[in-house]
């Protein structure tokens, strides 16, 4: 019998950091299910890139906050590939505004994806991950940097940082790790949106490496947590080039 591939589900996997993670896990030999919110073209491009590099992938459109859709996604993955070994919770949205000017509908939308969505996906992962599995959530270094306008976003990700070690403890006896990665300023469309050149340069200089992170920088750490790094558990790993 041949080698059985590990199977990874990556939410937010069609663009930015999520896409880099999907492509990296595929290079690591994992079968990847790319979960995306709306952009069919970007999802197809991600799957095509993985397959062109010799990997195996499929794409599923689903709202991470919809528990029925996420349960159906896991059902389909188990039917097609035999099970789920890795779940990467990379879907997220970011609205930046001072607290005094915060639009509460925007707050609710962000928390629906970043908090409820993280819980819905984590809940399904907790029920389904096979022994030797890993759940990797996404936080942000803004839970430490605490820059003006980031209150609502950082609050949504602080919830993820609280969820992560609690779930790690709840998985006792299952041989499943639960960790979070917290990127610093990273060169993605999500980061660049609404920032002028001066702001981008300021963020790039925050760390001693004096550059923005790249999606591949983040994917490298996810790759370790999703595979060989079995003794890291219940942690939030700050992947930011040394920002304080």
Where would I find the beta strands (DSSP E) of the chain?
A: 7-11, 31-36, 57-61, 86-89, 134-138, 177-183, 236-239
Residue 150 CA: distances (Å) to CA of 95, 96, 119, 163: 8, 6, 21, 20
Residue 50 CA: distances (Å) to CA of 172, 182, 195: 34, 25, 31
3-state helix, strand, coil in the chain (%, to 5): 45, 15, 35
Q: How far is 177 from 215, CA to CA, in rounded Å? A: 22
Contacts of 38 (CB under 8 A, 6+ apart): 61
**Contact, 147 vs 100, CB < 8 A?**
no
Whole-number CA gyration radius for the chain:
17
For residue 153, indicate whether it is catalytic. yes
Closest CA to 215 of 232, 239, 193, 233: 239
Q: Which residue has the tokens 């880099």?
A: 20
**Contact, 94 vs 111, CB < 8 A?**
no
Q: How far is 160 from 66, CA to CA, in rounded Å? A: 17
- Which positions are annotated as active-site residues? 153
């Amino acid at each position: 019998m041949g080698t059985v591939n590990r199977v990874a589900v990556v939410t937010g996997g069609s663009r930015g950091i999520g896409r880099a993670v999907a492509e990296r896990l595929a290079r690591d030999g994992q079968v990847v299910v790319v979960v995306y919110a709306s952009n069919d073209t970007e999802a197809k491009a991600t799957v095509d890139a993985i397959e062109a590099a010799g990997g195996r992938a499929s794409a599923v459109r689903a709202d991470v906050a919809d528990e029925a859709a996420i349960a159906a996604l896991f059902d389909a993955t188990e039917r097609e590939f035999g099970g789920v070994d890795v779940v990467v919770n990379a879907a997220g949205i970011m609205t930046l505004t001072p607290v005094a000017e915060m639009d509460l509908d925007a707050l609710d939308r962000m928390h629906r994806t970043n908090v409820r969505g993280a819980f819905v996906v984590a809940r399904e992962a907790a029920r389904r991950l096979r022994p030797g599995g890993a759940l990797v959530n996404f936080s942000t270094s803004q839970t430490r940097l605490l820059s003006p306008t980031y209150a609502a976003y950082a609050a949504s990700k602080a919830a993820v940082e609280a969820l992560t070690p609690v779930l790690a403890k709840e998985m006792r006896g299952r041989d499943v790790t639960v960790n979070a990665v917290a990127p610093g300023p990273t060169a993605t469309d999500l980061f660049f949106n609404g920032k002028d050149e001066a702001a981008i340069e300021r963020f790039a200089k925050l760390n001693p490496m004096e550059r923005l992170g790249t999606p591949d920088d983040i994917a490298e750490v996810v790759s370790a947590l999703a595979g060989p790094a079995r003794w890291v558990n219940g942690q939030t790993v700050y992947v930011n080039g040394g920002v304080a």
